């Protein structure tokens, strides 16, 4: 197995393996590389749907999306099949997957089946690196803050669909809106990452809406800095898997009416832990002035609750 960095900050391409046929030692090496590099790209993978699911299960339990189209015979497999006649894709917005869950996904494993001749890349932003670009004063200011997350475009999609509108109430009951730390501490590396995204984050708790909007739009712009980004071009049978605890992604909607078919497996994550505890950080961020390596300045860690109802 060879692991070659794709840039100075994050992302790596792995060669010399088939994901369907890894022994335990190979899987552990691959998993460690995924944590370190945040996004891994593996080309020419022959795995079938059952093997894709089995590979995901090596990371943990799989989730079933309440919104995205699932395969008829495998609920855990999301099928993103976009072409001239399909509804408009909803993934051309920066996000970490499913932060509307109390326990957002650990890893997403996306496999390309049909790739357009041009366009259809996926963009990634290292939110670890984005956090490291903030001044120390701003990092201190954000410590201990939390934000409310909702269903974003998926909620709007259900609300506007007369045949599926009734599902919204059920999903709202099953998935109450969570509050997540604005700065998330990675449980395996101790690195801090910005954990707000323009798809699902509604408001920073305890701030006025106007204040929250200003801070969020400032933080969202940090994912747009080219130095913290990576762009992956797909070929059929490319598999990319990313750490949702530390990266966001965006699928440019630039290829229609060409067809692009992707299959996705998503692994359950843990409850995000915020930047309020004293910690020692071990893993530097490649190529970025990693001011987040050191001891946390902490926050007050107080519990917060929503003061208003937000339309999710
Ligand atoms: O299709 C892609 O490249 C990314 C899909 C995506 O954003 C998602 O599944 O959350």
Structure tokens at 177: 């809106």
Looking from the CA of residue 249, the nearest atom of ligand 1 is 7
State whether the beta carbon of 80 lies less than 6 angstroms from ligand 1.
yes
**Res 301: pLDDT:** 35
**Res 293: pLDDT:** 34
Label residue 11 left, alpha or beta by phi (over 0 means left) and psi (-120 to 50 means alpha).
Answer: left
Strand partners, 111: 239, 263
* pLDDT lower than 70: segments of the chain: 277-312
State whether the beta carbon of 99 lies less than 6 angstroms from ligand 1.
no
**Res 298: pLDDT:** 32
CATH class belonging to 2-310: alpha beta
Q: For residue range 257-278, list pLDDT tens digits in order.
A: 999 999 999 999 999 999 874 5
Ligand 1 centroid to Cα of residue 251, in Å, is 6
Is 249 in the active site?
Answer: yes
Q: Which of 247, 231, 236, 244 shows the shortest CA–CA distance to 121?
A: 231
Quote the CA–CA distance of 223 and 176 in Å, as a whole number: 27
Ligand 1 centroid to Cα of residue 207, in Å, is 31
| Residue 138 CB partners (closer than 8 Å, separation 6+) | none
Q: For residue range 216-242, list pLDDT tens digits in order.
A: 999 999 999 999 999 999 999 999 999
Task: Give the start-to-end residue ranges of the domains of the chain.
Answer: 2-310
pTM of the model: 0.88
CB atoms within 10 A of CB 273: 15
Structure tokens at 125: 């932003």
């Amino acid at each position: 197995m060879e692991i070659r960095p794709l840039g100075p900050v994050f992302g790596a391409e792995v060669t010399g393996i088939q994901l369907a046929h890894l022994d335990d030692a190979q899987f552990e090496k691959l998993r460690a590389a995924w944590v370190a590099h945040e996004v891994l790209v593996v080309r020419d993978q022959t795995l079938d749907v059952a093997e894709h699911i089995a590979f995901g299960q090596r990371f943990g339990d799989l989730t079933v999306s309440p919104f995205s189209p699932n395969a008829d015979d495998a609920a855990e497999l999301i099928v993103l099949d976009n072409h001239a006649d399909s509804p408009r894709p909803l993934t051309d917005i920066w996000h970490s997957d499913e932060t509307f869950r109390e326990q957002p996904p650990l890893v997403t494993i996306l496999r390309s089946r049909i790739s357009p001749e041009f366009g259809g890349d996926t963009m990634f932003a290292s939110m670890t690196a984005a956090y490291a670009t903030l001044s120390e004063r701003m990092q201190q200011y954000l410590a201990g803050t939390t934000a409310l997350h909702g269903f974003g475009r998926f909620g709007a999609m259900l609300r506007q669909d007369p045949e599926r509108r009734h599902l919204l109430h059920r999903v709202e009951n099953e998935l109450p809106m969570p509050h997540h730390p604005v700065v998330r501490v990675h449980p395996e590396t101790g690195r801090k990452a910005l954990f707000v995204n323009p798809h699902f984050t509604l408001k920073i708790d305890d701030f006025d809406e106007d204040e929250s909007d200003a801070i969020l739009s400032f933080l969202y712009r940090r994912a747009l800095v080219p130095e913290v980004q990576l762009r992956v071009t797909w070929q059929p049978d490319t598999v990319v898997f990313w750490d949702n605890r530390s990266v966001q992604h965006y699928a440019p909607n630039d290829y229609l009416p060409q067809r692009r078919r992707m299959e996705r497996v998503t692994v359950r994550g843990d409850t995000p832990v915020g930047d309020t505890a004293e910690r020692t950080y071990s893993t530097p961020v490649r190529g970025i002035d990693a001011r987040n390596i050191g001891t946390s300045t902490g926050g007050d860690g107080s519990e917060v609750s929503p003061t208003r109802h937000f339309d999710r």
